[in-house]
Structure 1
Amino acid sequence: MMMEEEAELCFPQLNTSCWKTKRPRSHTLLFYTVLSWIFLLTVTLNLLVIVSISHFRQLRTPTNFLLLSLAVSDFFVGLVMLFQIMLINGCWLLGDHMCTLYFALDYISSCTSIGIMLLISVDRYLAICDPLHYTTKVTPKRVHVCVLLCWIYSLIYVSIVMNDDFKQPGRFKSCDGECVLNNNLIHQFTDFIFIFLIPITVTMVLYVRVFVVAMAQARAMRSHIAAAPHLRSVTVTARKSEIKAARTLGVVILVFVLCICPYFCVTVTGQNAVVSAYSASFVLCLYYFNSCLNPLVYALFHPWFRKSIKLILTLQILKPGSCEANMLH
């Protein structure tokens, strides 16, 4: 028989120290490996999006600015994962103030990421359902203001939810080496409503509307093909663009629900009552994985991103005038 591992203290010299999380070494290694890969992919992919849109002048459109803002918030989510990796053994070694900062950064970046995802859905809705007025409604200035308001909303929301934690960092910990947040039932319910339920509901309503309009336009185009054969190529191109937009929004909803829904279902119902520590670890990995998938869903669907990756990795962006490169053809 294998001998059980002895439990260890986070700070052996302190009587008030927390105990390290007791789990098989294989589970710890697996959790560490998965989180580390998600961290590397999240930071790398989102950094590529940031560099691409920031460097190439042709990519600085209102829609791409939303992609840039999403990449920035997801990039910070990736950085925050470093702190989560440190908590694998159940011990927090950086002090109470850094613990509060960790939760604040995690909260702000996650809320902003979800908020900008919603803005992108609105942008695609206007592009498909109101194309004639899209350029007048979606201007660079308005997009910048909406993104700024999204960040401000996240800051205000976090300052309210974490008010007690900011006043006295570490007041809710039960022992030294613990990093916990004042996450009562009211806060959990509020998170579920404002960070999950409202964004996903609005996104689904927009997607249904986009899908209906795209299908109606496709049927109308098909009815005109026979009468105007010379418009066939234009019709096919437009139809492909509409179907691609609808499909992208569909993937957005699917990824968002699969990654975020389990996390909020667990937190609202009470994690300790319904799942094991290993299941909670899986749910947490899935939650962070959303920020890794966002650049794939929103950027890899666009040919310009694949082209920009090639130019970045081959260091072509270091050449003079590279920012004027034609990225759309």
Structure 2
Amino acid sequence: MACNGTSLETHRYALLNASLGVDPGAPTPPAPLRMSLAVIMALMVVVGFLGNAVVCVIVYQRPAMRSAINLLLATLAFSDIMLSVCCMPFTAVTLITVRWRFGDHFCRLSAALYWFFVLEGVAVLLIISVDRFLIIVQRQDRLNPRRAKVIIAASWALSFCVAAPSLAGRALVEVPARAPQCVLGYTELPAGRAYVLTLLAAAFFAPFGVMLGSYLCILHTVRKSAVRVHNQSDSLDLRRLPRAALRRLQRQQQVSLDLSFKTKAFTTILTLFVGFSLCWLPHSVYSLLSVFSRGFYCGPSFYATSSCVLWLSYLKSVFNPIVYCWRIKKFREACLELLPQTFQILPKVPERIRRKIQPSTVYVCAENQSAV
């Protein structure tokens, strides 16, 4: 779009190429690479949809699961489902055919939806991080299901406001000729660059900074608490302690157990943050370069870079349910319960024989065990 002179000349050039049926895009990557990315992306659609749907179904079907943290996780799962359904299939088709075959208007709509669902997912991760910071560091458990619903509604509204300008044409979003989907293209307009900076700050850089600071403070607090509990336990002689001191020691041991429980829960959220960072840092840097560097945007490797970076950004929607299955036992149990009887390898144990456990959350840390 901006690789052939001024903006007016570029517009005329694009119209001329469109009328002649010429594709002015960058050279495409080799067919084996495009086919491999497309096939893997199709598998990602299936895994991302099914895995995140399990989270939504669990929270919807069981009232005991509708805690504040679970509502946030269900919202995160729903945003990943919508990203997988509304954007990924069209990018996979374009990788195979090398041409966007769904129209200019739908291309801009898919770009707006892409940023909309990405912003919502990042907002939910940010809310969870701040909530863990308040609970573990500040010892303030203020988030309840009612407040969580209000915050979730506000995050959807703010995400739409930030993503909507790309649909209205205020941002420079180009119909794929140089990428397998509508991406932010090079522009010299100050308004366009300002919007891109705002978009990327809201989608990655600002949340990344806040979450990184929160997790560093949480790690510092958990380490200090563990050292303090350990030192207090070692300095006591159980044989010479009065009964009141023994009860106090038991409470300290309970705090230590709760600390270990909560550390495991925090590790799950920290893993989600690491996955978000690894999947979205390349895309954020790529978007900045494509908007501010004409040499990068007009370079021969832009299409291949776009394909790989977009594939990596979509990987986040598949990464979350994999982490749930790896870290959270109740998520694995729920997946087995939702499987049809014909697909279950092991026979289902009757409910009366199974060990009774208190209904808990998808999240490994129960809400009543949040304080350090």
TM range (shorter): 0.7 to 0.9
Name which of 327, 341, 360 aligns with 1:301.
327
Using the alignment, how far apart are the partners of 2:79 and 2:132 within structure 1?
Answer: 20
Superposed, which structure 2 residues align to 1:1-329 within 5 Å? 15-18=20-23, 22-79=28-85, 80-88=87-95, 89-131=97-139, 133-134=140-141, 137-164=142-169, 173=175, 180=182, 183=185, 184=187, 185-226=193-234, 227=236, 228=246, 230-231=250-251, 234-270=254-290, 271-272=296-297, 276-297=302-323, 300-314=326-340, 327-328=359-360
Q: Is the 2:59–2:66 contact (alpha carbons within 8 Å) kept by the matching residues of 1?
A: yes
Using the alignment, how far apart are the partners of 2:272 and 2:152 within structure 1?
Answer: 19
Q: Residues 117, 328 of structure 1: CA spacing in aligned structure 2 closer, same or farther, 3 A cutoff?
A: same
Q: Is the 1:62–1:138 contact (alpha carbons within 8 Å) kept by the matching residues of 2?
A: yes
Using the alignment, how far apart are the partners of 1:95 and 1:156 within structure 2?
Answer: 24
Using the alignment, how far apart are the partners of 2:45 and 2:181 within structure 1?
Answer: 20
Deviation track 1:220-244 (CA, whole Å, cap 9, x = no partner) reads: 2113324355457524421212321
Q: Residues 313, 233 of structure 1: CA spacing in aligned structure 2 closer, same or farther, 3 A cutoff?
A: farther
Q: Is the 2:55–2:77 contact (alpha carbons within 8 Å) kept by the matching residues of 1?
A: yes
Give the drift of 1:22. Answer: 4.4
Give the drift of 1:276. Answer: 4.5
AA aligned opposite 2:89: L
Deviation track 1:294-321 (CA, whole Å, cap 9, x = no partner) reads: 23335642222111111111469xxxxx
Q: Match of 2:12?
A: none
Give the drift of 1:155. Answer: 0.9
Q: Residues 214, 22 of structure 1: CA spacing in aligned structure 2 closer, same or farther, 3 A cutoff?
A: closer
Q: Residues 97, 205 of structure 1: CA spacing in aligned structure 2 closer, same or farther, 3 A cutoff?
A: same
Q: Which moved more, 1:227-236 or 1:108-117?
A: 227-236
- Give me the CA root mean square deviation: 3.3
- 1:144 is paired with a residue whose SS is helix
AA aligned opposite 2:48: T
Q: Match of 1:320?
A: none
Using the alignment, how far apart are the partners of 1:39 and 1:244 within structure 2?
Answer: 29
- 1:328 is paired with a residue whose SS is coil
Q: Is the 1:59–1:327 contact (alpha carbons within 8 Å) kept by the matching residues of 2?
A: yes
- Normalization by structure 1: what TM-score? 0.81
Using the alignment, how far apart are the partners of 1:178 and 1:71 within structure 2?
Answer: 25
AA aligned opposite 1:212: H
Give the drift of 1:35. Answer: 1.3
Q: Is the 1:165–1:181 contact (alpha carbons within 8 Å) kept by the matching residues of 2?
A: no
Q: Match of 1:319?
A: none
Deviation track 1:7-54 (CA, whole Å, cap 9, x = no partner) reads: xxxxxx963353786443312221212211222221111111111111
AA aligned opposite 2:209: T
Give the drift of 1:208. Answer: 1.0
Give the drift of 1:246. Answer: 3.6
Using the alignment, how far apart are the partners of 1:122 and 1:38 within structure 2?
Answer: 29
Q: Match of 2:369?
A: none
Using the alignment, how far apart are the partners of 1:121 and 1:171 within structure 2?
Answer: 31
Give the drift of 1:147. Answer: 0.7
Using the alignment, how far apart are the partners of 1:70 and 1:94 within structure 2?
Answer: 28
Q: Is the 1:66–1:116 contact (alpha carbons within 8 Å) kept by the matching residues of 2?
A: yes
- 1:87 is paired with a residue whose SS is helix
Q: Is the 1:108–1:158 contact (alpha carbons within 8 Å) kept by the matching residues of 2?
A: yes
Q: Provide structure 2 residue ranges, at least 5 long, that are not aligned to the other structure.
A: 1-17, 188-192, 237-245, 291-295, 345-356, 362-372
Q: Which moved more, 1:195-204 or 1:295-304?
A: 295-304
AA aligned opposite 1:328: S
Give the drift of 1:273. Answer: 6.2
AA aligned opposite 1:154: S
Q: Residues 242, 23 of structure 1: CA spacing in aligned structure 2 closer, same or farther, 3 A cutoff?
A: closer
Give the drift of 1:252. Answer: 2.8
Q: Which moved more, 1:93-102 or 1:227-236?
A: 227-236
Q: Residues 220, 284 of structure 1: CA spacing in aligned structure 2 closer, same or farther, 3 A cutoff?
A: same
Greater radius of gyration (CA): 2
Deviation track 1:91-134 (CA, whole Å, cap 9, x = no partner) reads: 12222222222112111111111111111111222222244x41
- Normalization by structure 2: what TM-score? 0.72
AA aligned opposite 2:206: I
Q: Is the 2:107–2:175 contact (alpha carbons within 8 Å) kept by the matching residues of 1?
A: no
